[in-house]
Structure 1
């Protein structure tokens, strides 16, 4: 029997049928290239409206990594410092891309499952000499975090406002921001606070490809269009990226899909605990981190691909998506039961 990738990652999920339909509708006749088309304009307007950011610029990238690199690189000079958590995707899983493209230093701060305390931010910023150290310029946080935690609306507001008080810009890596919004049932803007720039995930939430960059304060990112072009993420056939986002944002499809993924993860987490397994992190969005003994992982891996984030820890990650079914959740639990 083939091994299923159903829980390997939300990247493994198929594109949503509504997204495929949108691509087909967009595939009619010639339109201006490089984003100078009506579909791109409509998608940008939908993103601005969703995040209550009427003055924001909107750009796209094929991947989340590229979206993060574009956002961060356009904010800094080589003498600057980018602050992040100790488990940040930009630190661990982007092959040094932000550093290579920006020339800036990437410095991690201790966190609780990716949630950085204000005191850690204060300590790092206050320890920098004006000449002898790289100068903190921007802090990037992930919503929801790499360990599946959600920054609550009050906590992220306090953090972002405090970072601004320290003279820092704030970037939110929102690869799974829809899951954070759905988990809290808040307005999207409340899930990112007063962030200066936000990458809005699409690939993990039903798109075939593509993530968006919401530039809420364009004056702080003056060269962002050039960075996007230099690294090859200014799509010539722009309408095909934009059309997917337009479909995703229509009728709250992005939040309905994320809410379903969260619900499946919650059911999976409860089921695993019911079987006596210990969760390594609370299930707050669509990721489940569970401690499995060698016998359990041997049984599970015969049917499902799962990811071990740290090979020194017996913790395994199972990710639910818009396409995860209750039958798949039940089968995992039966396999481990």
Structure 2
């Protein structure tokens, strides 16, 4: 008897296919020769669109193929080896980037306690208060994730207060925005309100329907001197830059990037509601496109026969299901049916 194929529909938004608009954008960019290394018209247009979206006319814009590279470029250009990069205890830069930010910046990565990736202002105060003389590494930048690795959204007033307070403490602020579109769509606020007055932002594309590519919005270039050299050193200054930029231009046009994110969020809410109706407890509030649910071994066995799901913490019976632009209501209903 043939086994039933296991679907990756909820494994990650990285597992989703590329949106047709991304493929169309690549085809349009593939029309004849163009200047290389980002000196083409499409890259310039995409940069202008990103600046306009985030109300940051003076920002520099760079691109990377992956979110990890975008984070490393942003952080490594902000620090010296005697500096500290502050992050949450569940941060992607801490747990899922293979030590890349530390290796390539030379700076120390210091975790701060959080609630699902949301860091309290008091934690910043406590860490910065310990800043000592030459014997101690010096806090330089704090990185926060929007939406967080546990699917939480920094609400606009909270992220504004956090970023402003970090600045008052003399810290720079980086926003890891691999799912920033989901946070913007969830709150129905402007992009800049969803990131506060952050100094540098990585803007996710791959998780939101692009074939590849994340952007780096450098809102205060004076604090990130040499960032273009870091981008080049780690191999993310693409010779055919227009193929990354063209996708951003397509997604920023008519707010497609927010429409895809809003759909993913809606599917996550549908999934979460169905799980709770069936008596399953959510481990974190569902505020964007990720669902964390507690499953006993029997329930997990039933679900995993049909779907690939991820267990973030092997010590906890919590499983992550992620919705994407391509998730359908039939996909959601199928997963719920598998748990009956």
Q: TM-score, normalised by structure 2?
A: 0.99
Gaps of 5+ in 1: none
Give, in angstroms, the shift of residue 29 of structure 1. Answer: 0.6
Structure 2 Cα separation of the partners of residues 250 and 15 of structure 1: 17
Give, in angstroms, the shift of residue 131 of structure 1. Answer: 1.2
For residues 123-149 of structure 1, give each alpha carbon's deviation from its aligned partner in whole angstroms, at most 9, with x where no partner exists. Answer: 000012121210000000000000000
Q: Does 1:327 align with 2:325?
A: no
Q: Does 1:117 align with 2:120?
A: yes
User: How much is the aligned-residue C-alpha RMSD, in angstroms?
Assistant: 0.4
Which among 280, 288, 293 is matched to residue 291 of structure 2? 288
Give, in angstroms, the shift of residue 37 of structure 1. Answer: 0.4
Partner of 2:158: 155
For residues 47-75 of structure 1, give each alpha carbon's deviation from its aligned partner in whole angstroms, at most 9, with x where no partner exists. Answer: 00000000000000000000000000000
Q: Which consecutive segments of 4 or more residues in structure 1 shift more than 3 A?
A: none
Query: Residue 75 of structure 1 aligns to a residue in which SS?
Result: coil
Written as runs of structure 1 = structure 2, the 5 A alignment for 1:215-226 is 215-226=218-229
For residues 292-336 of structure 1, give each alpha carbon's deviation from its aligned partner in whole angstroms, at most 9, with x where no partner exists. Answer: 000011111110000000010000000000000000000111110
Partner of 2:17: 14
Written as runs of structure 1 = structure 2, the 5 A alignment for 1:44-193 is 44-193=47-196
Partner of 1:253: 256
Structure 2 Cα separation of the partners of residues 73 and 158 of structure 1: 25
Give, in angstroms, the shift of residue 21 of structure 1. Answer: 0.5
Partner of 2:275: 272
For residues 222-275 of structure 1, give each alpha carbon's deviation from its aligned partner in whole angstroms, at most 9, with x where no partner exists. Answer: 110000000000000000000010011111100000000000000100100000
Partner of 1:41: 44
Structure 2 Cα separation of the partners of residues 257 and 137 of structure 1: 35
Query: Residue 43 of structure 1 aligns to a residue in which SS?
Result: helix
Give, in angstroms, the shift of residue 89 of structure 1. Answer: 0.1
Gaps of 5+ in 2: none
Partner of 2:313: 310
